[in-house]
Amino acid sequence: MNFDPFLVKPNSSIKLKHYDPRFISGLETQDLHLSKDELKARSDELLLQGVKRLGELQDKLYAQNTYALLCIFQAMDAAGKDGTIKHVMSGINPQGCQVFSFKQPSAEDLDHDYLWRYARNMPERGRIGIFNRSYYEESLVVRVHPELLDRQQLPDRLRHSKNIWQQRFEEINNFEKYLTNNGVVILKFFLNVSKEEQKKRFLKRLDEPEKNWKFSANDVRERQYWDDYMNAFEDVFNHTSTEHAPWYIVPADRKWYARLVVAAVIQQTMEQLNLAYPEITQAQRQALVQARQMLEAEH
Ligand code: ATP
Ligand code: MG
């Protein structure tokens, strides 16, 4: 699969309106002549293969204990973050995976610098960490709703600074550089759902009793700020997509396609790490021989 259409190049000035949430490409061209059901079946099959391979790669990541992989998911409500995380990680040993969902900050969080709660939850070496929302909310929801910035108890000089967002982008870039230099490999996914598709999914949550619990009136209120969010997202992508921590804008109106793209990006990134099981030393090999002798000597 070619990820170029989704990857935001460093120092870009992309516009989200140029990214089609219904875009499909990267499947074998003959597949594009398949019916909707056939296409979905084919993609399910590909996803299954990808998920299986991710499981193998994760096993080596864990054994090698050098790198951590941090996958960040940002999106508007109902874009499919939860489902994507569930499906893409389904082949992974639960011990090798750490998922953190960031909601509104607590009083304790607000008593610290804004990166504090995220830094505390970084994946350990050998693990895949999933951030379901992340420090990017600090330049998204906090930017769209200035009263949230007021709650952060910053010194006035900083709170009223015109450069505050630019400054946060720089701080986040530096933070990610620091993490990268410490073996944390960072991937950032924006699940790009259209406003129309979001409405359909909200209505479905209202219509289907088993989906009612997912519905939140607040999500409908946030929808009123759609354009503000899109502007904030564009600014985030244009300032924080870097060589070491790239953003991918994933078409998300078709859930199966979004899952496929995310799995493929993670797989490709992990393949490039050349992960391998640790070699054992001569002394360790001898210890294994001794252990076998001891076991065999038992009656
Ligand atoms: P789901 O709805 O699928 O359970 P979710 O991520 O939308 O998942 P919610 O509990 O509905 O979870 O919403 C979390 C809310 O917390 C979002 O509205 C988000 O904008 C908000 N939030 C996250 N981080 C911050 C932050 N740093 N400051 C203020 N609000 C935040
Ligand atoms: Mg929500």
Reported as a single tens digit per residue, the pLDDT across 248-285 is 999 999 999 999 999 999 999 999 999 999 999 999 99
Question: Could you identify the atom of ligand 1 that is nearest to the CA of residue 101?
Answer: 6
- As a whole number, mean pLDDT of residues 161-167 equals 94
CA dihedral of residues 120, 185, 187, 108 (deg, nearest 10): 10
CA angle 172, 270, 264 (to 5 degrees): 95
Q: Residues lining ligand 2 (ion), CB within 5 A?
A: 77
Which residues have a Cβ under 8 Å from the Cβ of 227 and sit 6 or more positions away? none
Compute the distance between CA of residue 31 and CA of residue 42 in angstroms, rounded to an integer.
Answer: 8
Nearest listed ligand to the Cα of residue 80? 1
Nearest atom within ligand 1 for CA of residue 214: 2
Instruction: Give 104 Cα–ligand 1 centroid separation in angstroms.
Output: 6
Which residues contact ligand 1 via a Cβ below 6 A?
A: 77, 82, 101-105, 132-133, 137-138, 141-142, 148, 216
* Domains of the chain and any CATH numbers: 7-297 (3.40.50.300)
Residue minimizing CA distance to atom 25 of ligand 1: 104
- pLDDT number for residue 96: 94
Residue 94 Cα, ligand 1 centroid: separation in angstroms?
Answer: 24
What atom in ligand 1 is closest to the CA of residue 78? Answer: 3
Terminal CA-CA length for the chain: 57
Q: From the CA of 141, give the closest atom in ligand 1.
A: 20
Name the pLDDT band for 39 (thresholds 50, 70, 90): confident
Q: Which of 99, 137, 145, 190 to mutate to test the pocket of ligand 1 (most atoms within 8 A of CB)?
A: 137
Please state which of the ranges 33-37, 66-70, 127-131, 276-280 shows the lowest mean pLDDT.
33-37
Residue type, 107: A
On the question of pLDDT at 25 being above 80, the answer is no
Q: Where are the beta strands (DSSP E) in 84-178?
A: 97-101, 128-132
- At 281, which helix (H) or strand (E)? none
Say how many Å lie between the CA of residue 296 and the centre of ligand 1: 57
Question: Which of 109, 132, 141 to probe ligand 1 with, by most ligand atoms within 8 A of CB?
Answer: 141
Q: Tell how strand 97-101 and strand 128-132 pair up.
A: parallel
Please check the confidence at residue 104 and state whether its pLDDT lies above 70: yes
Place of tokens 């960031």: 102
Which ligand approaches the C-alpha of residue 99 most closely?
1
Q: What percent of the chain has pLDDT over 90?
A: 89
pLDDT of residue 43: 87
pLDDT at 183 over 80: yes
Comparing 1 with 66, the larger pLDDT belongs to 66
Give me ligand 2 centre to Cα 84, in Å. 15
Ligand 1 atom closest to 81 (CA): 3
Closest listed ligand to the CA of 221: 1
Protein residue with its CA nearest to atom 30 in ligand 1: 104
Distance CA 254, CA 231 (A): 23
Protein residue closest via CA to atom 4 of ligand 1: 214
